[in-house]
Amino acid sequence: MKAIDGWTAGILGWVLIVFTLIFLPRQACASILLSAANDATVQPAGPRPGVNGKQFFNIEGAGNGAFASFGVVDFQSSPMSVQVNSLTLALTQANAAFTNNGSLVFYLSTDTTTNIEPATSPLIYNVADIPTGLGTQLSLTFLLGTDSFTQVSDGTENTFSFSPGAAVVSYLDSQVAAGSPIRLVIAPGDSSVAATYAGFTNGAFAAPRLTLVTAVPEPGTLGGVSSALLAFAAVLSRTRWRPSTTKARTAILEGQVITSSLR
């Protein structure tokens, strides 16, 4: 049986360590894309009624009077075990004569049960709570961040990306695991903004979309580690360990005696 000495075994050991470090599973990213399941433009009188209430999704500051509004949009997830790293909301501009640039405030609401339908919803744009109009409605709301609306042209997609903290990540992970709704709220950040977007029933422009970026093991990396370990195990199974020695040893080769000193 072929033998390996301590020095050779050490080299093989280091090779295995290097292979393991190279092939250790690294975090890769996978995206979960969710289309809007419902939305509402919530004005002082409640969610905007009629066909336009669902075809359009507007966020308007208090300076717009009876048309001041915040937007609520729901996304339905499917049950899966994931860890969310970040999220991106995509909204498509559907502009009007009153469209106006300004700031927006983005929230994640844990209240996914309050009705957002016209005539039956308790939600209103609260003019006493400027600029968002939210007041205490849709409580337990997480602030995701702020951004701005700049009018371009109909069909222009605006994307808003957020890297949430641990509390938001934990909530999102639990919602997705249960296949539960995810509700975002977009409120005006100033009195003059009139951000005009397509709603979830708009046939001309894309509906709101939410992308959840999640961490997943990179395919094949575990297999690489396993293969390296199995290969090294196979080598050892075919060899016999023999400790190194400082004494001279002899080997007989074709009738001649060759003496070598190994360290």
pLDDT in tens, 12-32: 555 554 454 455 454 456 899
Do 207 and 255 belong to one domain?
no
Alpha carbon separation from 72 to 94, 211, 217, 263 (Å, rounded): 17, 17, 34, 75
Name the more confident of 140 and 14: 140
240 and 179 both lie in a single domain: no
Whole-number pLDDT of residue 263: 33
Could you tell me the CA-to-CA distances from 199 to 19, 95, 183 in Å, in that order? 51, 12, 15
Q: What are 46-83's pLDDT values in tens digits?
A: 999 999 999 999 999 999 999 999 999 999 999 999 99
Q: How confident is the model at residue 141 (pLDDT cuts 50, 70, 90)?
A: confident
Position 11 scores a pLDDT of: 59
Total domains, the chain: 2
Is 95 in the same domain as 68? yes
Averaged over 92-110, what is the pLDDT?
A: 98
117 with 168, same domain: the answer is yes
Residues 116 and 38 sit within 8 Å (Cβ to Cβ): yes
What's the rounded mean pLDDT across residues 153-178? 97
pLDDT exceeds 80 at position 248: no
- Helix, strand, coil distribution of the chain in percent, nearest 5: 20, 40, 40
Count of CB atoms within 10 A of residue 96's CB? 12
Look up the domain containing 248 and give its range.
3-26+219-261
Q: For 129, left (φ over 0), alpha (ψ -120 to 50), or beta?
A: beta
Question: Looking at the structure, do residues 58 and 176 belong to the same domain, yes or no?
Answer: yes
The helix (run of H) or strand (run of E) holding residue 239 is none
Indicate if 70 and 139 belong to the same structural domain: yes
- The CATH number of the domain where 193 resides is what? 2.60.120
Residues 147 and 199 in one domain: yes
- pLDDT higher than 70, residue 37: yes
| Strand residue runs (E) in 116-254 | 141-149, 157-162, 181-188, 194-198, 209-217, 240-241, 248-253
CB 200 within 8 A of CB 35: yes
Contact predicate 239/8, CB 8 Å:
no
The pLDDT value given to residue 215? 83
Q: Which of 18-27, 40-49, 166-175, 202-211 has the lowest mean pLDDT?
A: 18-27
Do both 68 and 137 map to the same domain? yes
Q: What does pLDDT average to over the chain?
A: 83
Is the same domain home to 117 and 247?
no
pTM (whole model) above 0.85 = no
